[in-house]
Amino acid sequence: MRSESTRYRWVFVVTMFLFLLYHHLIAFLVEPLTTVFRGMSNASDLWFYTELPLDILLSLVFFLLWGFLFDRYARRRLISLAGFLWGISAWLMGLAPTFALLNLSRAFSGIDRASHSGIYAMIGDLFKPNNRGKILGLLLLALPMAFGFSWIVSDNLANLFQWRAVFLMLGAVGFLLAVMVHNFVIEPKRGAKEPALIDIEIMGTYQFDWEIAKTTFKKPSLILLFVFILIGVLPWIVLSDGVMVYLRDTIDLQTSDIFLVLLPIISGITLGFPMGGLLGDLLFRYKRIGRLLTCFLGIIVPFLLLFNVFSSGLVEGQGFILSSLLIGFFWAFPWANIMASFMDIALPELRASAIAFALVFQTIGLFTGSLLYSSAVGLFGLANAILWLCLGAWLICLIVLVLLFFFLPKDIELLRRHMAYRSHLEARLQQEE
């Protein structure tokens, strides 16, 4: 029975990794493919051209709706529905005869893109608290892998005569993964892997409750985690946009050389997600602040290394390659642990909503961070904007982590007590049966 349960869990991990990988991939490829279409369109077709990210605005609304639905209904079916909607939106983009319809279809893709909270919430019901970080780290690997692949192929998309086939192929993958999720993923009971409930057959049904949600979302640690995510994404947008421009315009590197410079960073991030989650799990076994210690390491090391790189002005040689690798490696440490921390303090039937709010803050941070970065470049220059925005954001994150050292253990204890009380209720239900 235990081996069968383990098999189901890893079927979930593999399936959801593929789901997230292709979902991120189509999100990264939409912009260059849209640019290709705009360049091939007649002026009369461009009447719906806008810089307003309609897909992002739609995502902000559906993040919250998906989170609520995931906490009320079967997550497996909803994730399968999201894959089906993804397939439809991709095919609409591939078949759109005009640029206006392409943009409308692209906006529609924001609906399914907002569905990731249910995937992360299910991890809390399939894996014990001491194992969640490394599983989250494995799933987060999909992001740098999709980014790296899309970055490699984006320059060649303009040469593709059958570029619509890319949309159609990715849409077909969405339909396929929707079927895989529906047929092979098992819906776990909410709270099944909490320490107090792990040896009890759960008979009660726990769903989103507005009154409990109001109390939960007032928890200081939950608010601080939202702040961390809001501020913590700023270095991602600054470095992903700014470093390439800096290397090309300031250092005067060719495109091939830029790729060789950025490869260690991407490699470091790819290694850092699962290793950060694993380290957080190991430390969490001994200390309630174990995940925070891992996050602290993931902030202070990139802070010092980035300051050293920009202070020295060296962007070549083995020293820079090593620094880039370490920046990316430690930079990825906090994210699996922050996601796992939501599960450490939120009730099982509120986790998708909590993660959905986190994704809202992340999206707002990415959008406002891009505007802040553009303004800072105009005022202070590219190098200063990159350096001081990153250092400033990381400094605020360090302050947030210090505050979490005081609040997070208390909220973890509150959840454990509630789960212990729930275990008594479940035991009573079993006796009555």
DSSP string, 385-408: HHHHHHHHHHHHHHHHHHHHHHHH
CA distance 174 to 196: 37
How does residue 81 score in pLDDT terms, banded at 50, 70 and 90? very high
Which CATH number covers residue 344? 1.20.1250.20
Q: Which secondary-structure segment (H or E) carries 150?
A: helix 142-154
What is the mean predicted confidence (pLDDT) over 193-212?
A: 78
Residue bearing the bigger pLDDT, 154 or 19: 19
Residue 96 lies in a domain: yes
Same domain for 132 and 177? yes
Residues 255 and 374 occupy one common structural domain? yes
- What pLDDT shows up at residue 26? 81
Q: Are residues 178 and 215 in the same domain?
A: no
**Domain membership flag for residue 46:** yes
Q: Does 196 map to a domain?
A: no
Asked if pLDDT for residue 46 goes beyond 50, the answer is no
421: its two tokens:
């009380």
How many folded domains does the chain comprise? Answer: 2
The answer to whether residue 44 scores a pLDDT higher than 60 is: no
pLDDT of amino acid 48: 46
Any domain includes 310 = yes
User: Is 273 in the same domain as 351?
Assistant: yes
The CB density around residue 312, as the number of other CB atoms within 10 Å, is 11
> Considering the chain, what percentage of its residues have pLDDT values greater than 90?
36
* pLDDT band at 135; cut points 50, 70, 90: very high
177 vs 169: CA distance, rounded Å? 12
In a domain? residue 199: no
The DSSP secondary structure of 92-111, one letter per residue, reads HHHH-SSHHHHHHHHHHHHH
Domain match, 370 and 253 both: yes
With respect to residue 197, please indicate whether it lies within any of the assigned structural domains. no
Full domain range(s) for residue 257: 210-432
Residues 254 and 398 grouped into a single domain: yes
Higher-scoring residue by pLDDT: 1, 291: 291
pLDDT of residue 112: 84
- Residue 202, domain member (yes or no): no
**∠ CA 204-209-211 to the nearest 5 degrees?**
130
Q: How confident is the model at residue 67 (pLDDT cuts 50, 70, 90)?
A: very high
113-127, 205-219, 243-257, 344-358: segment of lowest average pLDDT: 243-257
Side-chain-side CA neighbours of 344 within 13 Å: the count stands at 32
pTM of the model: 0.89
Q: How far apart are CA 163 and CA 94, in angstroms?
A: 8
Torsion of CA 243, 245, 250, 252, to 10 degrees: 110
CB atoms near residue 350 (< 10 Å): 26
Among 99-113, 239-253, 349-363, which stretch is predicted with the lowest mean pLDDT? 239-253
205 in a structural domain: no
> In this structure, how many other beta carbons lie within 10 angstroms of the beta carbon of residue 304?
16
Same domain, residue pair 236 and 176: no
Confidence (pLDDT) at 432: 61
Q: Let me know: does 217 contact 357? Beta carbons within 8 Å.
A: yes
What is the percent of the chain where pLDDT is above 70? 84
